[in-house]
Amino acid sequence: MFNSPQKQLINPDDLFGSREIRFQDRRESHYPQLMRLCADFNFSVLQLQRKIFSHLSRKLVPGPLEFVLALRDESSEYWYSLSPGVESLKLLNDYCKTYEIDLLHMHLIGDDGDDQELHNESFY
């Protein structure tokens, strides 16, 4: 079972490639939870291929493809993943269905780490 959502920076240096998955038609979507989050709340679904170190070839090689629910910070242009990497869109849709309230709370209100940084900056 997966853990609850956490906001993590997606470092482009750790990736061989990435692409954004777009959902076109709300009525024909096989992944209604992902469609709703992306269309109504500005989330994105990214397909990532991370770099992993191969001990056999002693090089960085492409890892397996994974899907994550992500948000883009408009001010810094960085991507942040909110879900763990999963191997299929169906698993990501199921994850988002299970943790929908936590994802929306993190996106709309912020996470606890953001609040602590704000409080620390407000003192001297």
- For the full predicted model, state whether its pTM sits above 0.85: no
Give CA 56 to chain center in angstroms. 30
Residue where the block lists tokens 């993190």: 106
Starting from the edge strand earliest in sequence, which strands make up the sheet with 44-54, in order?
Answer: 8-9, 79-81, 59-72, 44-54, 15-21
Per-residue pLDDT tens digits for 74-122: 888 899 999 999 999 999 999 999 999 999 998 888 765 544 444 444 4
**pLDDT value at residue 57:** 86
**pLDDT value at residue 112:** 58
Which DSSP helix (H) or strand (E) runs through 21? Answer: strand 15-21
**pLDDT value at residue 51:** 93
Mean predicted confidence (pLDDT) in 34-62: 92
Mean predicted confidence (pLDDT) in 42-62: 92
**pLDDT value at residue 122:** 42
Per-residue pLDDT tens digits for 2-33: 788 999 999 999 999 999 999 877 766 789 99
Instruction: Give dist(CA 7, CA 49) in Å, integer.
Output: 19
Question: For the chain, which residues make up each domain, given as ranges?
Answer: 8-122
**pLDDT value at residue 28:** 65
User: How many Cα atoms within 13 Å fall on the side-chain side of residue 23?
Assistant: 23
